[in-house]
Amino acid sequence: MSNSNRSSGLFISFEGIDGAGKSTHISGLADAFKAAGRSVTLTREPGGTPLAEKLRAMVLNDAMDSLTESLLIFAARRDHLAQVIRPALLRGEVVLCDRFTDATFAYQGGGRGFDLHVLKTLEAWVQSTEGQALLQPDLTVWFDLDPLKAAERLAGARVPDKFEAQPVEFFRRVAQGYADRQQAEPNRFARIDAAQSRETVWQDVVTVFKTRAWL
């Protein structure tokens, strides 16, 4: 990735199947970075801008085919990158993003079985700007959890959206989608064993950042 994309900013994404328990750790990290004197942009996908949040509501609630779903998600991502992520990186901020493109490869590619070549093309279109390399996170923290355990955690927790209502077999394919992305780019990923206690998971997350001298 070229430096012109981001100045001294840091772009971190967080991934995992529904129920893997990433949310509390993302807000904990935001607090830790702020305590260390960094400016933080805490955001999510699909979403993060008024337009992208409208697209999120459609993606999470309305029935559509996999290409339509992928196009809406990448449209939301394009707006999010232009309005929020790139400007924050150029200001030198830490961008903590709850899900990014690995989720599309895992959910639409793995879960739905949608064409990975089409997703690759969309990724290249959406995450590149003229004269700059494709923007990817500096680090992706992957909360890896057995889909059966995730389903137990989610049971009765809230009214499920379109994805949360999927059967465990869907989440097995999603988990495999994440594993494939990690295998393709091992240096970008930090895998966290999300089956551990919340406290141990948090310690592991902090270690990932301390090891890189980012905290």
- Residue 40 CB, nearest approach to ligand TMP (Å): 18
Nearest to ligand TMP of 108, 140 (CB atom): 108
- Please state, in angstroms and rounded to a whole number, the distance separating the CA atoms of residues 59 and 43: 17
- Residue 73 CB, nearest approach to ligand TMP (Å): 4
Which residues bind to ligand TMP, rule: CB under 6 A?
Answer: 18, 44-46, 60, 73, 98-99, 103-104, 107-108, 163-164
* Cβ-contact 137, 11 below 8 angstroms: yes
- Please state, in angstroms and rounded to a whole number, the distance separating the CA atoms of residues 85 and 73: 15
C-alpha torsion sign, points 147, 148, 154, 160: positive
Nearest to ligand TMP of 8, 68 (CB atom): 68
Question: Helix, strand, coil proportions of the chain in percent (round to 5)?
Answer: 55, 15, 35
- Residue 101 CB, nearest approach to ligand TMP (Å): 7
- Please state, in angstroms and rounded to a whole number, the distance separating the CA atoms of residues 36 and 39: 9
Nearest to ligand TMP of 9, 177 (CB atom): 177
Give the residues across from 140 on adjacent strands: 13, 189
The H-assigned helical ranges of 12-65 are: 23-35, 50-61
- Residue 104 CB, nearest approach to ligand TMP (Å): 3
- Residue 131 CB, nearest approach to ligand TMP (Å): 26
Residue listed under structure tokens 């997703």:
119
Nearest to ligand TMP of 14, 33 (CB atom): 14
Nearest to ligand TMP of 138, 164 (CB atom): 164
Nearest to ligand TMP of 116, 215 (CB atom): 116
Please give the full DSSP string across 73-84, using - where no structure is assigned.
HHHHHHHHIIII
- Residue 54 CB, nearest approach to ligand TMP (Å): 14
